[in-house]
Amino acid sequence: HREPAEIVKKLFMLGIMTNQNQSLDKDTIELLAADYGIEAVEKVHEDISDIDNIFAQEMEASKNSDNQVVRPPVVTIMGHVDHGKTTLLDRLRHTRVSEHEAGGITQNIGAYQVRINDRLITFLDTPGHAAFSSMRARGAEITDIVVLIVAADDGVMPQTIEAIDHAKSAGVPIIVAINKMDRPGANPAHVTEQLMQYELIPEAYGGSTIFVNISAKTGMGIDELLENIILEADMLELKADPKQKAIGTVVEARLSRGKGPVADVLIQQGTLRVGDPIVVGDTFGRVRTMTNDKGHQVKKATPAMPVEITGLNDVPESADKLVVFDDEKTARAVGEARAQQSLQKQRENTQHVTLDNLFDTMKRESMKSVNIVLKADVQGSAEALGQSLQKIDVEGVRVNIIHSGVGAINESDVTLASASNAVIIGFNVRPTATAKSQAAGESVDIRLYSIIYKAIDDVKAAMQGLLEPTY
Residues that bind ligand GDP (CB under 6 A): 79, 81-87, 127, 179-180, 182-183, 215-217
80 labelled binding-site residue:
yes
181 labelled binding-site residue:
yes
Nearer Cβ to ligand GDP (134/179):
179
Nearer Cβ to ligand GDP (86/106):
86
Nearer Cβ to ligand GDP (178/422):
178
Nearer Cβ to ligand GDP (85/286):
85
Facing residues of 322 across strands? 248, 280
For the bound state, the minimum distance from the C-beta of residue 233 to ligand GDP, rounded and expressed in Å, comes to 23
126 labelled binding-site residue:
yes
82 labelled binding-site residue:
yes
For the bound state, the minimum distance from the C-beta of residue 447 to ligand GDP, rounded and expressed in Å, comes to 32
Nearer Cβ to ligand GDP (77/417):
77
399 labelled binding-site residue:
no
CA atoms of 265 and 276, how far apart (whole Å): 14
For the bound state, the minimum distance from the C-beta of residue 155 to ligand GDP, rounded and expressed in Å, comes to 14
179 labelled binding-site residue:
yes
196 labelled binding-site residue:
no
For the bound state, the minimum distance from the C-beta of residue 409 to ligand GDP, rounded and expressed in Å, comes to 22
8 Å CB contact between 197 and 205: no
Q: What are phi and psi of 400, to 5 degrees?
A: -120, 110
For the bound state, the minimum distance from the C-beta of residue 125 to ligand GDP, rounded and expressed in Å, comes to 12
129 labelled binding-site residue:
yes
Nearer Cβ to ligand GDP (81/466):
81
For the bound state, the minimum distance from the C-beta of residue 301 to ligand GDP, rounded and expressed in Å, comes to 28
Nearer Cβ to ligand GDP (215/292):
215
- Please work out, in degrees rounded to the nearest 5, the angle formed at the alpha carbon of residue 91 by the alpha carbons of 301 and 307: 15
Nearer Cβ to ligand GDP (222/444):
222
Which among 300, 324, 326, 345 is positioned nearest to 51, based on CA atoms? 324
Q: What is the 3-state secondary structure (H, E, C) of the chain?
A: CCCHHHHHHHHHHCCCCCCCCCCCCHHHHHHHHHHCCCCCCCCCCCCCCCHHHHHHHHHHHHHCCCCCEECCCEEEEEECCCCCHHHHHHHHHHHHHHCCCCCCCCCCCCEEEEEECCEEEEEECCCCHHHHHHHHHCCCCCCCEEEEEEECCCCCCHHHHHHHHHHHHHCCCEEEEEECCCCCCCCHHHHHHHHHCCCCCEHHHCCCEEEEECCCCCCCCHHHHHHHHHHHHHHHCCEECCCCECEEEEEEEEEECCCEEEEEEEEEECEEECCCEEEECCEEEEEEEEECCCCCECCEECCCCEEEEEEECCCCCCCCEEEECCCHHHHHHHHHHHHHHHHHHHHHCCCCCCCCCHHHHHHHCCCCEEEEEEEECCHHHHHHHHHHHHHCEECCEEEEEEEEEECCECHHHHHHHHHHCCEEEEECCCECHHHHHHHHHCCCCEEEECCHHHHHHHHHHHHHCCCCCCC
For the bound state, the minimum distance from the C-beta of residue 146 to ligand GDP, rounded and expressed in Å, comes to 14
For the bound state, the minimum distance from the C-beta of residue 217 to ligand GDP, rounded and expressed in Å, comes to 3
182 labelled binding-site residue:
yes
Facing residues of 79 across strands? 149
CA atoms of 156 and 178, how far apart (whole Å): 10
Facing residues of 300 across strands? 273
| Those residues with Cβ within 8 angstroms of residue 469's Cβ, 6 or more apart along the chain or in another chain | 356
For the bound state, the minimum distance from the C-beta of residue 232 to ligand GDP, rounded and expressed in Å, comes to 21
Nearer Cβ to ligand GDP (88/401):
88
104 labelled binding-site residue:
no
For the bound state, the minimum distance from the C-beta of residue 192 to ligand GDP, rounded and expressed in Å, comes to 17
83 labelled binding-site residue:
yes
- Binding site, annotated residues: 79-86, 125-129, 179-182
- Binding site, annotated residues for GTP: 79-86, 125-129, 179-182
